[in-house]
Structures are given as C-alpha cells and as structure tokens.
Structure 1
C-alpha cells in the first residue's frame, strides 16, 4: 500500500468492525486489524493511537461543531437553540457514518468502550454548556439544558439507527424532543 493512501483510515475502521464483530473487542489486536486492512502494525499507529480509537475517529469534532453552531444561532430560548444546532450538526454527522449500526453493537458489548462513549458525550455536554454561558445563559440553567439536550440527541441518534437510518436525522431529533415534552408534562399531572 502507498504510504498516504487516502482509503487506509476507512479500511482500518471496516477491518476493526469486522474483527470486533467476529471475535469481540477484547480478543482483537492492533496487528490483526492492520493485517486485515493490508498495512503494517507500525502504519496503523499513523492513523490511530490504539485499537479503541478506531471506533471514535472524528468524534472530537462534534463538541467543536456544536459550540460554534450554538454561538452563531439566532436569539432563541437555550433549549431551542441547542436542538437547532444538534439538528444541523447531527444531519451532517449522520450523513458520514456508514458503519454506525455496527459501531454501536461493538460499543454496547464492551464496558471499556461504553466508558469512552460516555466521555465523548460528556465533552459534548461541556461544549454546549460553555456555549450557552457565552451567550449569557445562567450557569445552572446552561448545565441543565446541556444535559437534557445531550440526552435528546442520544435518543434521536438511537432512533435513527434503530429505524435503519431511513428517516432523516432531523425527524428523529424532533421525535425525541416531542417525547421529552410528553415526559416533562406528565410530571405535573395528578395520578387520580
């Protein structure tokens, strides 16, 4: 393979997902991934620092993109602002995830990967909170909105995957937000 083959990163992701599905995350080595992708172990580390990060390629871009989208948004209530940002950023994100279903299955089968996924979501929540505070939202409210919006996003993303990525992500996001409204409205109802 050429040293700078532009398809190498995608081949590594595909190879890792195949091997993780066949043998389980814990039983796969970097060497096996590299060999299946047609490169050397040493070359693997030009693309990813370890076997875990092959599943999280590009995830560091999501918090940055959300932060920027929130800061650029029109004036609106904080939750509406964040959900609109998730709508635009999420639609771009989902258009670039050809292996999302397989990736989720691998992550769900590994406590280590679930922890890494949680760290990714925490970074998203922090980026949202910081952007809202920069827009003038009171810190306690910014934190709550960030946490709630991240949960809505996660539910929308899961729905999008569960429905085989057929509905547009924005449809799933609206559905998850509507479910949130239903749940919060139930809190004030009497059980009589």
Structure 2
C-alpha cells in the first residue's frame, strides 16, 4: 500500500517554483525538485506525471473554488456572478504572488505551456457556463458571461502581474469589468 505524505504536492510545488525562480525552468530537474522538497523522486511521480504538471496541478482546485463561489453567490446577473467568483478565487494569487509570477513567466516562455494554459481556460469557461445554466440562466447568456469573464480574468492577471502597487487581484478584476462596461456602453 502506498502511503500518502502530508502536503507532498504543496512541498513539491513550493520547491519547484523556488528552483524555477533561482535557476530557470529548463535547468531545473525532477531530482532537484524532490531534494529541495525533502522527498524522493519516486514520490514526485506519485503526485505528478511530469515536471510541467507542477505548473498546472492547481487548475482543478481553482476551477472548483470558482464554481462553488458562483453556486453560492447572491444575485442573478451572470457576468457579475462570474467575475465576483473570479475575484474571490484570486485571493490565492495575492497570497502566493511570487510563485504565481514565476508560473506566469515560465508559461509565457514556452509555447506548449501556453497551449495547455488555453486548454485550462477553456475548461474553466465550460465549468462557469455549466454552473450559470444550473442557476437558471439561459444557455446564451451563460455562454456570453462565461467567455467574457475569462477575458476579464486574463486581462486582470496581466495587469496584476505588472502592478507593483498594493492593489489586490480582486481590484484588478473589478477594474477590468468596469472598463468592459464602459466599452460596451460607448463611454470613454
């Protein structure tokens, strides 16, 4: 029987991000990640298929948090429901800023990771759409809100990544949503 090690994924994740930050993604090996985490290479493969998976393993967790936030939210305006949930889920970004910035830089530097990130964003779009429909929102309105919320999310991540001020991720999400409304309404 394989014994689970408490917080192994998190330990590997933190160790990998620190190594990616200090020596670069390409120069970092799985044995180095395992050593830095205080675990074995064999244990690494119990939790991750390969090194790139360290960059993407939280996507399902983040998606579940966003879906749960939409499901519990008050209100009936689909875009507001979706963006409020994205802002809440974005707390993880604020709490783990250094690691998120490293992850973003690694993804930006590798085309195959960009493709994988787009696939994760598509899966998140489908999940947002499904939970909005389950709340009684029409298919078309749910689709528009889900797709639009992902655009807001991506612009907010970019701005948050470049912002050296103390504005949290939620502030960037809400600012992007306000700008979207201004664009749609033809305001400057």
TM-score, length-scaled by structure 2: 0.83
Cα distance in 1 between the residues matched to 2:153 and 2:53: 22
Give the paired residue count: 184
1:126 is matched with 126
Distance 1:15 1:70 in 2: 32
1:28 Cα offset (Å): 4.2
Q: Name which one, 1 or 2, has greater alpha-carbon Rg.
A: 1
Match of 1:172 in 2: 172
**SS at 2:34's partner residue?**
helix
Pairing of 1:3-82 with structure 2 (within 5 A) = 4=5, 6=7, 8-21=8-21, 25-26=25-26, 28-82=28-82
RMSD after superposition: 2.5
Unmatched tracts of structure 2, length 5 or more: none
Q: For structure 1, which runs of at least 5 residues remain unmatched after alignment? A: none
Match status 1:97 vs 2:96: yes
Deviation at 1:162, TM superposition (A): 1.2
Q: CA deviation at 1:19?
A: 4.3
Q: TM-score, normalised by structure 1?
A: 0.81
